């Protein structure tokens, strides 16, 4: 059974540019969550998508956005990149059943460096 796949694994971007990251969840999983991990702030929740709808949102500026497709694959976009956006971006996949708190499995992450 394939795990969570994130692409690309590494990215280098310039301040002011925008970037799109992709996540393919485990087959059958309908929930995709995105997290940012930095040495200073640790792991922080960005947002969660379930059935193509944003179900939960963290405390990040509007420059961070996402979407989910009908096949549950998800993309995350960051516009007008800042140096502080340099981080490991992690996608987590779960079954996402509404009434139960299901386990979340992480992809390998995308390491974004903003220069």
Q: Cβ neighbours of residue 82 under 8 Å, at least 6 residues apart?
A: 15, 114
Q: Does 25 bind another protein (CB under 8 A)?
A: no
When asked if residue 24 is in the footprint of another protein (CB under 8 A), the reply is no
The closest of 69, 70, 63, 72 to 112, measured between CA atoms, is: 63
- The interface region with another protein, picked from 11-19, 20-28, 29-37, 66-74 by CB under 8 A, is 29-37
Site for another protein in 87-106 (CB under 8 A): 88, 90, 92, 94, 96-106
Compare residues 15 and 57 and give the one whose CB is closer to another protein.
57
Determine the Cα–Cα distance for residues 31 and 34; give it in Å rounded to an integer.
Answer: 10
- CA 101 to chain CA centroid, Å, is 19
The residue (of 13 and 111) whose beta carbon lies closer to another protein is 111
- The residue behind tokens 């509404």 is 98
31 binds another protein (CB under 8 A): yes
**Omega prior to 8 cis, within 30 of 0:** yes
Q: What does the binding site for another protein look like in residue numbers (CB under 8 A)?
A: 31, 33, 35, 42-45, 48, 50, 55-56, 58, 88, 90, 92, 94, 96-109
């Amino acid at each position: 059974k394939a795990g969570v796949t994130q692409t690309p694994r590494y990215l280098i971007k310039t301040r002011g540019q925008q970037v799109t990251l992709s996540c393919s969840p485990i087959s059958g999983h309908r929930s995709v969550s995105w997290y940012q991990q930095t040495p200073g702030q640790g792991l922080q929740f960005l947002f969660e998508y379930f059935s193509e709808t944003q179900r939960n949102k963290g405390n990040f500026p509007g420059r961070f956005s996402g979407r989910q497709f009908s096949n549950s694959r998800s993309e995350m976009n960051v516009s007008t990149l800042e140096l502080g956006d340099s981080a490991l971006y992690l996608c987590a996949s779960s079954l996402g059943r509404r009434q139960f708190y299901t386990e979340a499995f992480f992809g390998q992450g995308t390491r974004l460096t903003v220069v």
